[in-house]
Amino acid sequence: MQEINMMNEPVVHTTRDQAEKAQKQSPQFTKEQFLRSARYSGAEKDVLSVILQEDETYRLEQIEEQFTQFIMREVQ
């Protein structure tokens, strides 16, 4: 019998390997692409310009995590 969630959809169980593979396949973007994106405000782009490296590529999930860590850090 197939598991059904509250939305009446089948429950899909993924293995750790499947999750890691899906994460590696997610699109990656350069610092410049994030800074040109309409997704972020001017102030958010200022933060991204500080925390991102020119020669690296990033997944959206990585950027969101780094941005949150930067904003939530303790001011010294």
Q: Which residue has the tokens 């930067």?
A: 70
pLDDT tens-place string over residues 8-65: 666 666 677 666 666 567 899 999 999 999 999 999 999 999 999 999 999 999 999 9
Helix (H, G, I), strand (E, B) or coil at 62: helix
> Which band of pLDDT confidence, cut at 50, 70 and 90, is reported for residue 7?
low
Q: Which residue has the tokens 């200022």?
A: 46
What is the β-pairing status of strands 57-59 and 28-30? Answer: antiparallel
Can you tell me the distance from the alpha carbon of 67 to that of 59, in angstroms, rounded to the nearest whole number? 12
Asked if 15 and 49 count as a contact pair (C-beta separation under 8 A), the reply is no
Q: Kindly state the DSSP code that residue 4 receives in the 8-state scheme.
A: B
More confident residue, 64 or 7: 64
Give domain limits for the chain: 27-72
